[in-house]
Amino acid sequence: MSYQISRRFFLSASAASLATGAVADAPKTSLLPRLRGEGFRKKAVAGPEVIVADANLGGQVCYTVADAKTGLRLEGMNPQTGTPPASTAKAITALYAMDVLGGDHRFETQVVATGSVTDGVVSGDLVLLGGSDPSLDTNALAKLAADVKAAGIREVRGGLVIYDGGSANVTTIDPDQPAHVGYSPAVSGIALNYNRVHFEWKRSGGDYAVTMDARSDKYRPDVVVAQMRVEDRSGPVYTYADMNGRDDWTVARGALGSGGARWLPVRKPALYAGDVFHTMLRAQGIKLSAPKVTSTRPSGQVLARHFSDDLRALVKDMLLYSTNLTAEMVGLAATIKRGQAPQTLKQSAAEMNAWARQTLGVEGLALVDHSGLSEDSMVTADAMVEALVKVHGDDNLRPLLKEIPLRDAKGRPISSGPVTVQAKTGTLNFVSGLAGYISANDGTVMAFAIFAADEDRRAKLTKAQRERPEGARWYNGRAKNMQQELIERWGTLYSS
């Protein structure tokens, strides 16, 4: 792909790169970057317009870098232009959830018996009460089942009921994603294994043996709520249908090869959790019927409890692995704690945007979800940096961010560079973001956000092309190189 840089672009970019201002409460006078000394090293640093032009990304590039302690903007390019933030939005979600819920918050999943319990027999229902725990897994359900057995339960006369209320229920985080991608599952008041089911296939003679299970490091229970059929066709690779209360998948035989495995999204989280919990209870010798779902919270005697790790640990994992489901569930939980009853992710994200204005004093956030998966979310570089500057002194976010190593020309991490970077990455097709903190060896700390997006190219993709579109890997690699060059520039210019 070729991209022509116009003279107007060079002039506007150069002006923008020298633009300074108050990202927080900074002085109003001219604050052009002062080079500390006239050494060759600083004189030889490439200008931002050259770095951006050499990246040859197309679309637009927006960035802001500021002193993290004072908020003084050191450089900016298109700093107030809204751009899809991708997963850098999770940094805002992390701040939101920890401020509203508290870093020590733990999500609780309960098992409750309605009616009386006599001689180990539950006269009513056995209820799995979802508590919006995004980290609930098959191991936890197995432990809950063992705890129910330890409580003396041997039979349930009523039914197995799964409560998934208390939160919004959506069938996929982003409807524009292909149906089979595991990073866009359903969201509700209960989740299991990040609402993903493990699909595995092996060639067996002239056919394939396929399994759908809820595996963990200890268990591999088969599930019935999600089923797969192999069909003779050239395409599409996968199809999905809601079929009689289950997730019905098909896969093209020609795409399977000799064998393999992948995680598929779950569209019926409550039934999925109920399916696995039913298996675990029966493995304990407890007699009960197949699960059913309710959105009305039942009450009764608590037989077993499971608590998640504290929110700080969940958020650190979310930022490290960029788990979309965690972001959506903790964001929804925070919105509900603020007294709202969102029915959609967009409604919950709107409350988070309002929180950012009220609590951080940040304008320029127009998020429509908590994960950044939707391309409809928009964030300005100034807004992201304002938020990072605001919380820098609290030290609530920075220790949770992943350290991003600088790399040499061969792509190898540089073990002892002039700066260290703690940041959140963000990647969509033809969208790349990086936001966080730069720490120089002299103690200077900068907050920064870099957003690049070729939205025209992204808009031309069909839904089927969105998993691995041609050119996306090239774009992402070029964007990351540009990000590093900008960071190296700032580390050289704005530290001693």
Kindly list the domain boundaries of the chain, sorted by start residue: 7-83+380-493, 107-308
Question: Per-residue pLDDT for 4 more than 60?
Answer: no
Helices (H), 196-246: none
Question: Per-residue pLDDT for 122 more than 60?
Answer: yes
pLDDT of res. 1: 33
pLDDT of res. 19: 41
Average pLDDT over residues 368-377: 97
Highest mean pLDDT among 17-21, 206-210, 258-262: 258-262
275-318 tens-digit pLDDT: 999 999 999 999 999 999 999 999 999 999 999 999 999 999 99
DSSP β-ladder status, 207-213 and 196-204: antiparallel
pLDDT of res. 3: 31
Average pLDDT over residues 114-126: 96
- More confident: 260 or 23: 260
What is the rounded radius of gyration, in angstroms, for the C-alpha atoms of the chain?
A: 25
- More confident: 24 or 176: 176
Residues 141/273, Cβ–Cβ less than 8 Å: yes
pLDDT of res. 39: 55
Question: Per-residue pLDDT for 138 more than 60?
Answer: yes
pLDDT of res. 83: 97
pLDDT of res. 40: 52
From the CB of residue 125, how many other CB atoms can be counted at a distance below 10 Å? 21
CA angle 473, 437, 450 (to 5 degrees): 40
- More confident: 468 or 391: 391
pLDDT band at 14 (very low <50, low <70, confident <90, very high): very low
pLDDT of res. 43: 65
Residues 82/62, Cβ–Cβ less than 8 Å: no
Q: Based on the number of CB atoms within 10 Å of its own CB, is 412 exposed (0-12), middle (13-18) or buried (19 or more)? A: exposed
Average pLDDT over residues 373-389: 97
Q: Return the closest-CA partner of residue 370 out of 349, 353, 398, 389.
A: 349
pLDDT of res. 41: 62
Give the percent of the chain with pLDDT over 70: 91
pLDDT of res. 6: 33
- In sequence order, what DSSP letters do the residues of 47-85 get, joined into one string? PHHHHHHHH---SEEEEEEEETTT-BEEEEESTTS-B--
pLDDT band at 463 (very low <50, low <70, confident <90, very high): confident
Give the percent of the chain with pLDDT over 90: 82
pLDDT band at 414 (very low <50, low <70, confident <90, very high): confident
Tokens of 421: 């970077």
Out of 3.50.80.20, 3.40.50.300, 3.20.20.70, 3.40.50.12780, select the CATH number for domain 107-308: 3.50.80.20
347-356 tens-digit pLDDT: 999 999 999 9
What mean pLDDT is reported for the chain?
A: 91
pLDDT of res. 408: 85
